[in-house]
Amino acid sequence: MTVHSGTSDALFESDPFPHFQRSLGLFRPVGRAVGARAVVVVLVGWFPLLVLILADALNSSSALIPFLKDFGVHARSLIAAPLFVICEAVVLQRLDAITYHFINAGLIASEDRQHFHRLIERCKGLMRSTLIEVLAFAASYLLAIIALRYIPPSIMPAWYSVPGSSHQMSWAGWWYTIVSVPLLSILIFSWLLRVMLWGRFLFSVSRMKLRLISAHPDHAAGLRFLNAELFAFMPLAFTFGVIAAGTVANNVTYHGASLDQLRNTVIGLLIFVLVIFVGPLMVFVYNLHRQKVAGIYSYGKLADSVGRQFERKWLTNYDKVGAGALEAPDFSATTDLYQIAENVYQVSIVPFEVRTTLILCITTLLPFVPVLLMLVPLKVILKDAASVLFGISPT
- Tens of pLDDT, residue by residue over 188-240, are 988 998 999 999 999 999 999 999 998 888 989 999 999 999 999 999 999 99
Question: Phi/psi at 169 (nearest 5 deg)?
Answer: -75, 145
> Which pLDDT does position 138 carry in this prediction?
86
- CB neighbours of residue 141 within 10 Å: 14
Lowest mean pLDDT among 81-95, 181-195, 303-317: 303-317
> Which pLDDT does position 147 carry in this prediction?
77
Higher pLDDT, 28 or 32: 32
Which residue in 130, 31, 154 sits closest to 88, CA to CA? 31
pLDDT over 60 at 26, yes or no: no
> Which pLDDT does position 13 carry in this prediction?
64
pLDDT over 50 at 296, yes or no: yes
Which residue in 329, 325, 306 sits closest to 317, CA to CA? 325
Question: Phi/psi at 161 (nearest 5 deg)?
Answer: -110, 160
> Which pLDDT does position 8 carry in this prediction?
46
DSSP string computed for 219-284: SSTT-GGGGHHHHHHHHHHHHHHHHHHHHHHHHHHHH---HHHHHHHHHHHHHHHIIIIIGGGGGG
pLDDT over 60 at 30, yes or no: no
- pLDDT band (50, 70, 90) for residue 346: confident
> Which pLDDT does position 124 carry in this prediction?
82
105-161 pLDDT per residue, tens: 999 998 999 999 999 888 888 877 778 878 888 888 888 888 777 776 666 777 887
Contact 363, 236 (CB under 8 A): no
> Which pLDDT does position 391 carry in this prediction?
59
> Which pLDDT does position 364 carry in this prediction?
97
Angle between helices 228-255 and 354-365 (to 10 degrees): 30
**Mean pLDDT over the full length of the chain:** 82
> Which pLDDT does position 164 carry in this prediction?
63
Residues 16/20/21/24 CA torsion (nearest 10 deg): -170
Tell whether the torsion through CA atoms of 232, 285, 295 and 101 is positive or negative.
negative
Burial of 367 (0-12, 13-18, 19+ CB in 10 A): buried
pLDDT over 60 at 322, yes or no: no
Lowest mean pLDDT among 63-67, 98-102, 320-324, 358-362: 320-324
Higher pLDDT, 7 or 346: 346
